[in-house]
Structure 1
């Protein structure tokens, strides 16, 4: 399978795609570009919003506002006014860190993890922002907190810490948000790059972006077997999510950062947004639920 170009752009570090099924648009970020994008597949238009700091993840709240996990913590963002409202920065004392990937769980909590900006030491953590806007630390000692997914039963959570190549699985309690019994679901083989962002389909299979390998692959987390691969005309594949009216379009983000001039010459579309029609279907993105309107 081969992904097609959805929107040509030179994003430095495209990431965090999130489909808004109400508006039928895709939000995604350029972390190093310090912007978020809104892509409308119907018109082919891509609107850009300058945030002024690195944004690792963007999700949609129940009330339609965006919620960001950025360089300096969690924020609400209004695309109409451009107003950013700070929620909380759990790492205000760690300027060398930034938020990376993040997702909303089936109960409406926003999970997002951190990493060092310039090193790969185990200084990152995974946080959870709940409906009262309280932030709880879920994991520590992470190198590059990355992809997350919850299975159909809402009893398992999958998580990636990129340099370990481990796809971790936890027992997950929907009501409390407690994760327990961390174990390795499977090890991600070297030929597929480093595991970056991921999403899950309705069959419970994981779609994982391969940084450095130019592909997204679909995995059975029970057996660790690879089921299919999507070739992408870019080198560093960062994340993927399902969208479209029937949730059968896989949107794929990529990066240009860290590539040599020679590599960029071979893969000039690196940094662009790609898509592919799949035989699988995904689920609507969970929306962040908050009881305080600030």
Structure 2
């Protein structure tokens, strides 16, 4: 039996603290966990089996990455949606749907179960409803999914792929949409459930094999498991840092829970109290199992 809140031994994956760590994604093919440091323009990857940590410096704000079929990254860079060569480091611009919005940057992104890439945006000055959500299809066409969001964040799909969960952080709610797996189109927005403000701002999100949502809570010191049907908070892992940003399952059996965090905005005293802020954490053998991560599939050859 699990208690409502549990302080489990969470390991620091690598001795490195990000300014704004985000977007962890498990690469099944290489057995690696990848994540970004948005403001420092770095893509990190760590291979547990070989205890190998690599950093890709892209010299651009990088909101999120996903893994492509060929092993490269698809990324939301300041300059637009781009391929990033995993070996070469070269970038190839695909689309920049917000070229006319220089005050915006791309934020959280993820692949759906069919291999499309969804990524949202937010204003650098936190202007309300200045962001959008986009879908990059197999033919590399880019389509607007949502408009007028403030801080586009957590995304997850139900185990059958027909329901899409989405977080616009300042709303303190999880939104839900019907999802057309054949086209990637979403239906009308509904509210799945509200998040009490005492829990901390809802940030990145993933889903487990039982269809329960795992949400990282900014300024909440926790990753919490929520029932999307009832809105009930089922369980949480307490963390030694306040700014918990996102989470995903990884490992051979998808039972290791990887968690990103941030150190941005902490005052000196807070840094002293949270020396691990900005770390990537893992809770091994968490007792829960995730879903297989989506991989970006495209029909056009576009080498990076």
TM-score of the pair, normalised by structure 1: 0.98
Paired residues, what number? Answer: 294
In structure 1, C-alpha distance between the alignment counterparts of 2:15 and 2:152, rounded to whole Å: 27
Deviation at residue 43 of structure 1 after TM alignment: 3.2
* Larger relative strand fraction: 1
Deviations 1:33-80 (A, max 9, x none): 111001112233321111011111110011211110122211101121
Contact 2:133 2:144 in 1 (8 A): yes
Q: Determine which of 162, 169, 181 is the counterpart of 2:169.
A: 162
The answer for the alignment partner of 1:74 in structure 2 is: 81
Structure 1 unpaired stretches of 5+: none
The answer for the alignment partner of 2:234 in structure 1 is: 227
Which 10-residue stretch deviates more, 277-286 or 85-94? 277-286
Structure 1 vs Structure 2 CA RMSD: 0.9
Task: Please identify runs of 4+ aligned residues in structure 1 that moved more than 6 A.
Answer: none
SS of equivalent residue, structure 1 residue 184: strand
The answer for the alignment partner of 1:126 in structure 2 is: 133
In structure 2, C-alpha distance between the alignment counterparts of 1:267 and 1:45, rounded to whole Å: 25
Deviation at residue 148 of structure 1 after TM alignment: 0.3
Which residues in structure 2 correspond to 1:111-190 (within 5 Å)? 111-190=118-197
1:217 aligned to 2:224?
yes
Which residues in structure 2 correspond to 1:48-67 (within 5 Å)? 48-67=55-74
1:290 aligned to 2:298?
yes
Deviation at residue 282 of structure 1 after TM alignment: 0.5
SS of equivalent residue, structure 1 residue 179: coil
Deviation at residue 152 of structure 1 after TM alignment: 1.1
SS of equivalent residue, structure 2 residue 272: helix
Deviation at residue 4 of structure 1 after TM alignment: 2.5
1:107 aligned to 2:114?
yes
Contact 1:120 1:144 in 2 (8 A): no
